[in-house]
Amino acid sequence: MPRIGTFYQNHLKRKMFNKILFLYTIALIVLFVTVAFTGGEAAAYNTRDYQIQVSNDGSTWTDMVSVTGNTMGETKDAISLTKARYVKLTIVKATQGGDTAARIYEFEVNGLE
């Protein structure tokens, strides 16, 4: 199954996004986002609001997941079987409070070839 994992932190002046390009179109089934608490930081730093979108061309995006009010350190978003070549994670609200630094420890996409 294709998978990508990385850590990044970014102070939001606007919505932040991370885009993944696969070498070929895959059928997506589960999306994981791991944030601050699971990475050893305070739960108050967990990403609160985010969106996940997919695309076949990198220009036209389809909403798959829209999360508001998240408090978990790791989320698992199961989606209906969807073919896509690109997946985009957009951070809408970085933390539980006023801190503007989004802390994403891992963004994992699982699917079938």
Domain count, the chain: 1
Whole-angstrom Cα distance, residue 65 to residue 77?
Answer: 7
> Does residue 2 sit within a domain?
no
Show the 3-state SS of 46-91: CCCEEEEEEECCCCCCEEEEEECCCCCCEEEEEEEEEEEEEEEEEE
Query: Which tens digits make up the pLDDT trace of 34-67?
Result: 777 777 888 888 888 988 888 988 899 999 989 9
In degrees rounded to 5, what are phi and psi of residue 41?
-100, 175
Give the residue numbers spanning the domain of 52.
8-112
* Overall pTM > 0.85: no
CATH number where 31 lies: 2.60.120.260
pLDDT at residue 90 above 80? yes
